[in-house]
Amino acid sequence: MTAPSESTRSVVLGALLIVLAFACVAVMSAFGKAAKDVPTGILVLFQNFISLLLFTPWVLGKGISELRTTRTWLHIVRAVAGLLSQVLMFVAVKKMPLVNAVLLSNSAPLFIPLVTWAWLKERIGGMVWMSLFVGFAGVILILKPGLALLSDPIALIAISAAVFSALALVAVNQLSNTEPRRRILFYYFLYSSAAAAPFAVLKWTTPTYREWLFLGGIGLMMAVSQLLIILAYKHASAGRIAPFNYTVVIFSGLIGWVVWKNTPDLLSLAGVLLVTAGGVLSTEFGGPNSSGHLGWLGYWNHALHREQAS
């Protein structure tokens, strides 16, 4: 039964917006795969710097005082973890089938309970343990452990992206207790751009015209996805629409099939279904930190959910 504060129309609109947001995430990942000859440092610099430029006018809409914070170190932890997640994700999508790389990189809900247990000492309930068992069984089917995995550990790199994503999402949830969304977004894009810039300069090669388009697309899709997520959470709570995050797997699978002719084998397909089921169950039965989406903003707590957008 829908909560009184959320009409069916609002939930449907929120779900539609979150689906569109993760369609943008899938397209962004595809652009990263298509730009396989561009150094990863350049990819993440453009991803974050273009978003910084696009969001700064909105961030400064309430004045420079909006940027004052007493939680600089937590902003830095979030930015570093989020940036590492993106770096590892782009490394993975260049060398793996798109759907596998995106799914493994975005399996953060399987790691969030473990991060909150280690960091915040939150207890992991029985149903959450069951969801993790289901999800990690799917991961094993996709990874196919063996000698081949040791010689080419790219799938483990994708999984590492999910671990850092989980850390970033939990950090965001801690920030959201005191920090408005404008400030969280601004410092993420600012610190991520600053951290990526030296690596982009050291590895700089002038992109081709086609690669410039991909770089612009990566930054634009990142910004649009974040905007759509903000709008989605204005209309519906995380608990109602978080399961729709996994539409990113469907979009990635379709793009990978159409563009790169990637067809998953039966074991990988079963793994995709199990990871998705485990993630949805973890989101459903986990604590507030598990209710976030798979993007880079995290779950907006009730205080932020009530915050009026401008």
Are 177 and 289 within 8 A, CB to CB?
A: no
pTM: 0.89
Q: Is residue 262 part of a domain?
A: yes
Tell me, yes or no, whether 299 lies in a domain. Answer: yes
Encode 189-198: b = buried (16+ Cβ within 10 Å), e = exposed: bbbbbebbbe
Q: Is residue 53 part of a domain?
A: yes
In a domain, 233, yes or no: yes
DSSP string, 62-97: G-GGGG--S-HHHHHHHHHHHHHHHHHHHHHHHHS-
Number of domains in the chain: 1
The boundaries of the domain holding residue 251 are 8-305
Domain-located, residue 310: no
- Please report, in tens digits, the pLDDT of each residue of the chain (310 residues total): 444 456 788 889 988 998 999 999 999 999 999 999 999 999 999 999 999 999 999 888 888 888 999 999 999 999 999 999 999 999 999 999 999 999 898 888 889 899 999 998 988 889 999 999 999 999 988 887 765 565 678 888 999 999 999 999 889 888 888 888 889 999 999 999 999 999 999 999 999 999 999 999 999 999 999 889 888 888 877 667 777 888 898 999 999 999 999 988 888 889 999 998 988 888 778 766 665 544 444 444 434 443 433 3
| pLDDT, tens digit (0-9, with 9 covering 90-100), for 71-126 | 999 999 999 999 999 999 999 999 999 999 998 988 888 898 999 999 989 888 89
Question: What does the pLDDT look like over 291-300, one tens digit per residue?
Answer: 554 444 444 4
Long-range (24+ apart) CB contacts under 8 A made by 245-248 are 245/18, 245/22, 245/106, 245/279, 245/293, 245/294, 245/295, 246/22, 246/276, 246/279, 246/280, 246/294, 247/18, 247/19, 247/22, 247/23, 248/22, 248/23, 248/25, 248/26, 248/102, 248/106, 248/294
Q: Is residue 3 part of a domain?
A: no
Is 226 inside any structural domain?
yes
